[in-house]
Every structure is written in structure tokens, then in C-alpha cells.
Amino acid sequence: MTKGTASMGKKSGKSNLVQRCRRCGKRSYSVRNKKCASCGYGETAKLRRYNWQTKRGGKTIRRK
């Protein structure tokens, strides 16, 4: 029942778990979960977007 080096020695080689997303280009695509945290690529065909992300509350700006 060792708790030290035996389990800690297996943690090498996991340095590239988050890569660049092929849809949005941000470095938020998780290889382990197979989805992008920014745009939702790998989980849904629609872009991941919420109303709280914009300062105007998701309203569009109308211009004359």
C-alpha cells in the first residue's frame, strides 16, 4: 500500500490534452472530452452561444 511514487510515476506523457479547435481556432478543444469548450464543436452542430456573453444581453444593434 504505497501512495507515493508508484502512482505518481504514471502521470507522464499527458501534456497535450487541450489543443486548437478546428472550428473556432481557439485553444479550447479538449482531447479527453472530444469537444470544444468555446464553440461546442464535437457536441453539437450549432455554435455554443449564450445571451450573457455579450454586454447588451444578446440584443442586436439596429442601425438606420
- Show me where the domains of the chain are located: 16-64
Separation between Cα atoms, residue 20 and residue 10, nearest integer Å: 25
* pLDDT tens per residue across span 45-58: 999 999 888 777 55
Residue given cell 511514487 in the structure block: 5
Question: Does the predicted TM-score (pTM) go above 0.85?
Answer: no
3-20 tens-digit pLDDT: 677 777 777 777 788 999
Return d(Cα 20, Cα 28) in angstroms, integer: 6
pLDDT of 62 above 80: no
Q: Which fold has domain 16-64?
A: N-terminal domain of TfIIb (2.20.25)
With 70 as the cut, is the pLDDT of residue 2 above it?
no
What distance in Å separates the CA atoms of residue 41 and residue 22, rounded to the nearest whole number? 8
- The x, y and z cell numbers of residue 33, run together, are 472530452
DSSP 42: T
